[in-house]
Structure 1
Amino acid sequence: MKNLTTLFFTICGLLLFSSCSSEDKNAGEENLNAIAFSADAHIRTSTLSQRILDFITINYPGLTIIEAEIEDNNNFEITLSDHTELIFDSEGNFLGEDRDDEDDFGDEDLEVSELPQNIINFINEHFPGVDIDEAERENNGHYEVELDNDMELIFDADGNFLGVAHDQNEDEDEQGETDINPNDLPQAIKDYISVNYPEDIIIEAEIEEDGSYEVTLDNGIELEFDEEGNFLSAEDGNGDDDDDDDDQDEND
């Protein structure tokens, strides 16, 4: 009887240990899939404040925006078509140009060898065979590591994993878009904008994966055209239909 009791508790212990191990594994998997909302987030050009759009139009004529991000300190980092990086605060005030050879705005480029060892260990364990493309220490002390599979991982100042960098563009399936020079747009698109938006300037032009075009003007309006350059729709920076454009079409 004593042996049976011992066997019973032994089996219970093994089952409990197995359950805990499974829970720990699942928790680790959930943590790996976590979203680090404090990471830099890509945003649509049309959602930038009018103050930022006006500043770029006036001070960087002829250049377009190829990337816009909100950093974890709520600053905006804007990359122009000549790869100049501009920094604005949360109110849209211009702070300066972010140059690679300076550290004016808090982000510090790091060599892989400068990363804490626990970050290296984490990547080797969870992403075997995947190399680190680049690494940064953010102004809040966090580490942002981009792998050569384009995944961005965020770690705290002690090297503890926080999550995967959140990219708003992923929700909009924009991975197939390519930035182009506005001069390379079909003539039909340029003519349409000249007639319907004569006072506005193209601040971003993209060709979609399906061959259609998306053009953002310096008033925050997004215009959609098909692959032949025929107008499809217009939206403001908040995703609303541009009623003014509809009125223009009715009057044409």
Structure 2
Amino acid sequence: MEKRNKITVVLALVLLLMMGFVYGQDRVISANQLPKTAKNFLFVNFKGIATSSVIEDNEIFGVDEYKILLTNGIKVEFDSKGSWKEVDGKHQKVPYGFIPAAIKNYVAKSFPNTYIVKIERKRWSYEAKLSNGIDLEFDKNGNFKRIDD
């Protein structure tokens, strides 16, 4: 009986691993399949710029995130609900329409002649990379915290 239990446990683990490989994969989708929030974000902030690729990152329990590459080279990541997580301009200026005013104002005042090339929204903070290579960290309200090393 003990041998059967071990075999059952091993088979169950193998099955779970196989399910993880099947369901935990990326797949290419069309921009029309994005959540409405993500489609609106792209329309407002990147009007007239087509998508080069749209990847849906799936985990075992559903969609984890969406990764979009635009034809101008900018990369945008959204969470499973379509809220933006990261906008990476790949050394180009990102649009400022969605960036909190406190962050835009701080960068304009403290780092004139620079611009934001990447911004990431985390649960409790924002991180912004400037065109001069400096990384800044802000709290969830957009208040400057520190220069990130």
Q: Which has the larger radius of gyration?
A: 1
The answer, yes or no, to whether TM exceeds 0.5 is: no
Q: Which has the higher contact order (CA 8 A, sep 6+)?
A: 1
TM-score (norm 1): 0.30
Higher strand share: 2
